Amino acid sequence: MATSIRKSEAVPTRGTRQDGDATKQHLLDVAGQVFAERGFADATSKEICTRAGANMAAVNYHFGGRGQLYEAVLVEAHHYLLKLEDMQAITSQDIPAEDKLAMILGGIVRRAVGKHAHWGAKVVLRELMSPTVHAPALVHQAIAPKAMVMLGLVSEIIGLPIGSPGLQRGLFFLMSPCLGLLMAPQAMREKLFPAISDEPDAVAADMVRYALAGLGALGAHHKSQAQKIA
């Protein structure tokens, strides 16, 4: 009898694990809102825990500290804009590469300029505009894996090898308008460029047209230069 009691005390129940996961996710979401509002320097663990209704030790318990929590928020914020799993699912489909690009860019545009605001876009923008010591976590854990997927997709579209400078520049130029959408204040978009805020699907379609034309010209140029050298 005593043995069975000790086992039940030593092994967490499924409900306990689920509650812990829910608490961690809630803390992450509230922290994202606080970091979006105040930035990393001015956001405190005390405010995060208070707004989350959590014990003051929760940040250290679930994440190891405020810095690690912020890194988790950065990765979660980038996932909100662009999930690696979604990208992999899209690129694995048996459809033209141009259609895959349209699906990926469409998702980014809708999340960046859609009417339902999310803290993820603001957190990523804050970090890109004023990098902290935690920027490498965003780069290595979130951006780099997705960049590799995008390099493969753009390579498929314009026919340049992965290591090609033209391909790398092409991907950078391709993703720059997405950063521009994040940087443009909503008030500016609504007053000066209402067609951007009001029609995210049309914005995504035009962005794809613009991108494909540029990528096509870039690919043709670099392939022509390679033929001359050969």
In the chain, where the domains are located: 2-74, 78-229
- Distance from C-alpha of 27 to C-alpha of 30, rounded to nearest angstrom: 5
pLDDT of residue 17: 57
Higher pLDDT residue, 195 or 29?
29
Give the mean pLDDT of 7-34.
72
pLDDT at 63 over 90: yes
pLDDT at 66 over 50: yes
Which sign, positive or negative, has the C-alpha torsion 211, 217, 220, 221? negative
pLDDT at 147 over 80: yes
pLDDT at 94 over 80: yes
Give the mean pLDDT of 16-25.
75
How would you class 83 by CB atoms within 10 Å of its CB: exposed for 0-12, middle for 13-18, buried for 19 or more?
middle
- Distance from C-alpha of 177 to C-alpha of 36, rounded to nearest angstrom: 21
Lowest pLDDT segment from 120-124, 141-145, 223-227 = 223-227
Residue 19 CB neighbour total at 10 angstroms: 12
One CATH from 1.10.357.10, 2.70.180.20, 3.40.50.300, 3.40.50.920 for 78-229:
1.10.357.10
Q: Are 39 and 126 in contact (CB under 8 A)?
A: yes
Equal fold, 2-74 vs 78-229: yes
Amino acid identity of residue 147, one-letter, is A
- Distance from C-alpha of 30 to C-alpha of 48, rounded to nearest angstrom: 6
pLDDT at 5 over 70: no
The CB-side HSE value for 101 (13 A sphere, CA atoms) comes to 25
Q: Are 118 and 77 in contact (CB under 8 A)?
A: no
pLDDT at 7 over 90: no
Nearest to 123 by CA among 158, 156, 78: 78
Nearest to 150 by CA among 96, 90, 106: 90
pLDDT at 160 over 60: yes
Give the mean pLDDT of 104-119.
81
At residue 10 the predicted structure's pLDDT band, cuts being 50, 70 and 90, is very low
Chain centroid, CA 7 distance in Å: 42
Percentage of the residues of the chain whose pLDDT score is greater than 70: 90
Mean pLDDT, rounded, of the chain: 87
Give the mean pLDDT of 168-189.
86
One CATH from 1.10.357.10, 3.30.499.10, 1.25.40.10, 3.40.50.150 for 2-74:
1.10.357.10
What is the value of pTM for the model shown?
Answer: 0.81
Give the mean pLDDT of 13-42.
84
